[in-house]
Structure 1
Amino acid sequence: MAKQALCVGINNFKNYPSAALQGCVNDADDMQSLLKNLLGFQDTDIVKLTDTKATKTNIIKNLKEMVEGAKNGKYSYLVFSMSSHGTQVPDLSGDEPDRADEAFCPYDLAQKGDVWDPKHIITDDELRDLFIQLPKDVLLEVYLDTCHSGTGLKAIDFLLDRKPRYLPPPSMEAFLKVDGKRPRGLNKALMEKGITHHILWAACRADQTSADASINGGWHGAFTYYFCKEMVSSKNKLSHSAILEKIRKDLRAGNYTQIPQLECEATVRDKTIG
């Protein structure tokens, strides 16, 4: 099975130094190691973009190359992981007025007027429109360790050295446009287009935040850390659903409130990853 992966991790943001995270680059490193050591990827099969290299242009360019390669029969298994801040933008497609689009923050995140600049933000609609081009015999696994919608730090997070991976919209005007609207998420965006043969892992529910956390002496995304931990300890002999339950158990034991989500066909849930 010809493979290709893109691992993205962004701790620092060009125009928003105060929004810095600490675990996202480690997440990209961890995912790269997991792919190589457990899932049969070679160095040449993996592109890793971190911080200054992880601009919207570079991320989308690499994703487009992966999709084109798959369409041309070069790849049959694609992996995309992204650890960064999540945010929200008003529904850009206009297909559902009572919805806010999920968005993911590249290194060059920037504001235009009262909202995020479309040239410097990645929306779920953009990813959906790219991924729906994939042939049905190509397996795509997406890992998003970002927040969908933030409600701020809980008291316990201050005690345990954690930070949510969420940036609110850049102005009060933009916030009011998404406040109270239901977040959809990439999984729903794909399913609304009838794309059910791909696999999406999300670090939390659409109404939750995911944690950038200090774990065992290092900073990581809590979801990515425990996903890699359970994959390695099981040697990838457990099903998707079994790994999910183990990650959820780990997070509960660590007093995390986020609940990771797995979206895929029922038949896939009982298969191992890759």
Structure 2
Amino acid sequence: MARRALCVGINEFASLPHTSWLAGCVNDANDIAKALRPLGFTARSTTVLTDADATKKNVMAALTQLVTTAKAGDHLVFTLSSHGTQVPNEPGGDVEPDDLDEAFACHDIRQKGDQWDRDTVIVDDELRDLFARVPSGVLLEVLLDTCHSGTGLKDIEEILQAQLLGRRPRFLPAPTRRGLEQTRALRAVAPVRTVDRKALVELTRSRGTASKPVLFAACKPDQTASDATFGGRSNGAFTYLFLKAVKDAPAATRTELLRTVTAGLKAGEFSQRSTLEGPARSKKVAFGQLW
């Protein structure tokens, strides 16, 4: 039984102004890698990609290797701390109610026309297709400390409020005003749609896949995940509280960890609420355990 992990954290984005950079994502990746050590994930079996190393090509190559070399009984962990965004669905792609795909910004994210270049972001459908190849009997644990906007420009008020508290939402809107208007128009087609890391959540609930991932997400669909400061050090609010919960109660089940994180977010006056998806049996055992 092998335990292998890929931890990705991106603060700096080559083509974005410094005002769009983050502060806690690299710490997230390094902190998670360190926290996995006592659970049997060695330095040799854990890959950490940060900033300039975390291009789309590098992340997808490392993730593909993680998944395709897995065998029954293995425990895999994939964590990603970065900006979330949305891009228009490609012609001929999966039919989406609002014609938008969720995506995660890589270090080399760049603009293409009025939207983000799909070759520089990781689209949730790409993750779903890759994770569907995980062999039966393998546990894949996914932690996403990032966010998407399911409600359009009303999030601007929340973003401004968070910035007043010294927090920065991990979300990138479309790069131009025209792009924002296009995105808003697409959302208006299906305003009640749940933007919930849809492809990955569908995978955790589907019946036909060989192995279903366990998905921890930093926030609900219509919320923003915060880049915050704890004791003078930057982290994602979810990652910091999650790792603290694991350290304080190593035997806690995944469901119990989620409750603890939720309580911590409320106590810290964070507006986000984390979520947990996956097979019922995986929620009843401790983080780091297969079943």
Per the TM superposition, whether the score is higher than 0.5 is: yes
Any stretches of 5+ residues in structure 2 without a counterpart?
A: none
Shift of 1:138: 0.6
Q: 1:123 to 1:210 in 2, by over 3 A?
A: same
Aligned to 1:212: 227
Determine if contact 2:205/2:279 at 8 Å carries over to the other structure. no
Letter in 2 for 1:226: L
Corresponding residue SS for 2:107: coil
SS in 1 for 2:44: helix
Amino acid at match of 1:78: L
What letter corresponds to residue 156 of structure 2 in structure 1? G
Once superposed, what is the RMSD of the aligned Cα atoms?
A: 1.9
Indicate how the Cα distance of structure 1 residues 94 and 175 shifts in structure 2: closer, same or farther if over 3 A, else same. farther
Q: Deviations over 1:141-169 (max 9, x none)?
A: 00000011171353652442101000001
Greater than 6 Å deviation, 4+ residue runs: none
Shift, 1:187, TM fit: 3.1
- For residues 83 and 134 of structure 1, the distance between their equivalents in structure 2, rounded to whole angstroms, comes to 22
The answer to whether the aligner puts 1:233 opposite 2:248 as a matched pair is yes
Instruction: Name the counterpart of 1:21.
Output: 22
The residue number in structure 2 matching 1:119 is 119
Aligned to 1:89: 87
Paired amino acid for 2:280: A
Q: Is the 8 A contact 1:32 1:46 kept in 2?
A: yes
For residue 171 of structure 2, what is the amino acid of its counterpart? Y
| Alignment correspondent of 1:263 | 277
Separation (CA, whole Å) in 1 of partners of 2:110 and 2:73: 33
Please, which moves more after superposition, 9-18 or 146-155? 146-155
Distance (whole Å) between structure 2 residues aligned to residue 90 and residue 146 of structure 1 = 19
The CA deviation at 1:112 is 1.2
Identity level (%): 43
Provide TM-score, normalisation by structure 1.
0.92
Aligned-partner SS, 1:43: coil
Change in Cα spacing, 1:208 to 1:141, as seen in structure 2 (3 Å) is same
Q: Are positions 1:152 and 2:156 aligned together?
A: yes
The answer as to whether partners of 1:2 and 1:74 remain within 8 angstroms in 2 is no
Aligned counterparts of 1:142 and 1:244: Cα–Cα separation in 2 = 14
Is the 8 Å Cα contact of residues 72 and 137 (structure 2) preserved in structure 1? no
Which of 184, 187, 211 pairs up with 2:200?
187
* Residues in 2 aligned to 1:192 and 1:173: alpha-carbon distance in whole angstroms: 36
2:174 counterpart of 1:176: no
Give the secondary structure class of the aligned counterpart of 2:5: strand
Partner of 1:35: 36
Deviation at residue 269 of structure 1 after TM alignment: 1.2
Q: Which runs of 5+ in 1 are unaligned?
A: none
Aligned-residue offset at 1:271: 1.0
Equivalent residues of 1:99, 1:184 under 8 A apart: no
Supply the distance in 2 between the matched residues of 1:224 and 1:241 (Cα, whole angstroms): 16
CA–CA distance in 1 between the matches of 2:253 and 2:235? 24
Decide which of 262, 265, 289 is 1:251's aligned counterpart: 265
* Whole-angstrom CA distance in 1 between matches of 2:119 and 2:175: 15
| Residues in 1 aligned to 2:96 and 2:239: alpha-carbon distance in whole angstroms | 32
Q: Report the AA paired with residue 222 of structure 2.
A: D
Q: Could you tell me how far 1:192 is from its partner in structure 2?
A: 6.8
Letter in 1 for 2:203: L
Per-residue CA shift, 1:48-78, capped at 9, x if unaligned? 00000000000000001111101xx387111
1:29 is aligned with what amino acid?
Answer: N
Query: What is the CA distance between 1:191 and its match in structure 2?
Result: 4.4
TM-score for the superposition, normalised by structure 2? 0.87
Is residue 8–residue 81 contact of structure 1 (8 Å, CA) maintained in 2?
yes
Distance (whole Å) between structure 2 residues aligned to residue 89 and residue 125 of structure 1: 12
- Contact 1:230 1:247 (C-alpha < 8 Å) held by counterparts: yes
Q: State the Cα distance separating 1:90 from its structure 2 match.
A: 1.7
Structure 2 equivalent of residue 79 of structure 1: 77
CA separation in 1, counterparts of 2:260 and 2:99? 32
The CA deviation at 1:114 is 1.8
